[in-house]
Structure 1
């Protein structure tokens, strides 16, 4: 149901209620304007790390700039599952029972949890790599249900090329990934598909939570590491970087926050923009748009970020022309 239809039904019920209670204005007196009901918006973030936190901030800022400020036209309920599935399920059920007017699910696990229990209210997602593979939408251009949003599908092949640009001697690339995150599996498959054409071989190790990242990284005998947009691995990126520094192996990540925390470089979507894209879609829904017909939003430009000191600790250096192309240097 669109929010416009919901508001019309709510307004009709209010009129009947006021009539039954004798709430009509005294003849000759002006009627007081009806108070506009604030829209209840639920936001569930899968786990705190810079990329996902930037999505949430971008969403809130984007709504405010469009005239939807928290405490005025909308009421925001911000929740964080901290990568705990039981907590995530509880939050999704809480939003369903609370009849939120719209829910933003940040990251694939959040989208999947919310979609399972909310079918009659609009849902938006952000920071979801492949919503079709995650069974969130039927099609990128025609989602077909009550859910759509912004994807952070990133240029995996270009990220592997960054590794070669920093260190042309690299032959093997290690990927630590979460076996339970479909978004991570999609990116690993993309890397395995692209690697042979670049003369690279992919070695991988699966984890179930961020505490296993260090051991998984140590188990790989590789020349470099590639970190996809994997929530558990990004949450524990410092452990992987520590191993890489010990092995003198370059780390290229898929989000800006990981570069700030020590990875050598990244070619990534802008996660603040992810949130703003979701906010723009929310406004369209507030005005009557149907999520079923709203195409998933993809970013077509990517930000190059570099960390020369991080690369140096891995025994490498950022080439001058790469440094010149970077939109941000840490």
Structure 2
């Protein structure tokens, strides 16, 4: 009897130790800006809601590459050396760096526009390997329609992007196709680094009737420079993410990047609980919100249609 009690006690101790085991989640982003920061915070809060709390049973590490792909690769290698349970790269460059650094540690990406084009998965339905995650593919067709509604006379749209970001190249193709269906032309303006954003924006003056900024990390990190050019030249500036509207773009249709982070946390939890990431389909951001900025409209000499104001999810005064 005493032997049975000892065995039961030992089993209980092992079960308790297993349940108290600390999960290690390492998060990295290519750069710090409001949208990507919101994803990071959403991941942390989503894990907490699922029972993983820092200081108790979660070790949560975060590193930013400060816009440098070489630094992103270095961070990925450091994370692999730390042997976390899951690596969570935010943005396409960080995801590519993490995927290249390990074939064993699960990688759950977030805010990646086109995982297939970025070479991260074999397919969205069956990723294969050790990588899966959540895409932030934006509603491009709705953005083109929004630009036409705001600027009825529009004929050409400027597209500011970093051609070195795979997600931005994919978005350019989607955007060009959507614009062509509406009979609109697209004028490209390349910015290989954040310091180039202002010059890229200026190159569009006199060539474009409006400017579109996609969810490009290089451009969004220097958004204020782009906003200044738009305001100085009465060029309507529409963004691919709603967080940028808070910073001074005219409008956007999109989703909450904080909620995107919480969606990502759900996938991380599945992996922590034993699922193979290669069998978890890539999921896509859910929710569509129209956000408009009255102050930006005034600065860019745009009259907001009453019907648009009435249907907006949020109006920034």
- Give your verdict on TM over 0.5: yes
8 Å CA contact 2:231–2:300 kept in 1: the answer is: yes
Match of 1:143 among 127, 139, 163: 127
Q: Describe how 1:161-172 pairs up with structure 2 within 5 A.
A: 161-172=145-156
Q: Name the CA distance, whole Å, in 1 between partners of 2:259 and 2:277.
A: 19
Deviations 1:118-142 (A, max 9, x none): 1111110010000000000010111
Query: Any unmatched runs of 5+ in structure 2?
Result: none
| 1:185 matched to 2:151 | no
Report the alpha carbon displacement of residue 30 of structure 1 after superposing the two structures with TM: 5.1
Where does residue 235 of structure 2 map in the other structure? 249
Say if 1:317 and 1:99 are closer, same or farther in 2 by CA, change over 3 A: same
Say if 1:165 and 1:102 are closer, same or farther in 2 by CA, change over 3 A: same
Aligned alpha-carbon RMSD (Å) = 1.8
SS at structure 2 position matched to 1:242: helix
Q: Describe how 1:127-276 pairs up with structure 2 within 5 A.
A: 127-220=111-204, 221-276=207-262
Report the alpha carbon displacement of residue 299 of structure 1 after superposing the two structures with TM: 2.7
Report the alpha carbon displacement of residue 37 of structure 1 after superposing the two structures with TM: 2.5
Where does residue 19 of structure 1 map in the other structure? none
Deviations 1:245-292 (A, max 9, x none): 122111110112210111000011321111111111111112221111
TM-score after normalising by structure 2? 0.93
Q: Name the CA distance, whole Å, in 2 between partners of 1:134 and 1:94.
A: 22
Where does residue 37 of structure 1 map in the other structure? 21
Say if 1:187 and 1:71 are closer, same or farther in 2 by CA, change over 3 A: same
Say if 1:66 and 1:202 are closer, same or farther in 2 by CA, change over 3 A: same
Match of 1:290 among 276, 283, 293: 276
Q: Name the CA distance, whole Å, in 1 between partners of 2:307 and 2:150.
A: 11
Report the alpha carbon displacement of residue 27 of structure 1 after superposing the two structures with TM: 6.9
Say if 1:28 and 1:240 are closer, same or farther in 2 by CA, change over 3 A: closer
Deviations 1:82-113 (A, max 9, x none): 11122211110101111111010000000000
Report the alpha carbon displacement of residue 301 of structure 1 after superposing the two structures with TM: 2.8
Say if 1:28 and 1:235 are closer, same or farther in 2 by CA, change over 3 A: closer
Where does residue 104 of structure 1 map in the other structure? 88
Q: Name the CA distance, whole Å, in 2 between partners of 1:212 and 1:105.
A: 25
8 Å CA contact 1:303–1:326 kept in 2: the answer is: yes
TM-score after normalising by structure 1? 0.89
SS at structure 2 position matched to 1:295: coil
Match of 2:265 among 279, 293, 305: 279
Q: Name the CA distance, whole Å, in 1 between partners of 2:310 and 2:57.
A: 44
8 Å CA contact 1:160–1:226 kept in 2: the answer is: no
Q: Name the CA distance, whole Å, in 1 between partners of 2:203 and 2:77.
A: 39
SS at structure 2 position matched to 1:232: helix
SS at structure 2 position matched to 1:164: helix
Where does residue 302 of structure 2 map in the other structure? 316
Match of 2:101 among 117, 129, 132: 117
Q: How many residues are matched?
A: 306
Say if 1:98 and 1:310 are closer, same or farther in 2 by CA, change over 3 A: same
Say if 1:205 and 1:287 are closer, same or farther in 2 by CA, change over 3 A: same
Report the alpha carbon displacement of residue 300 of structure 1 after superposing the two structures with TM: 4.2
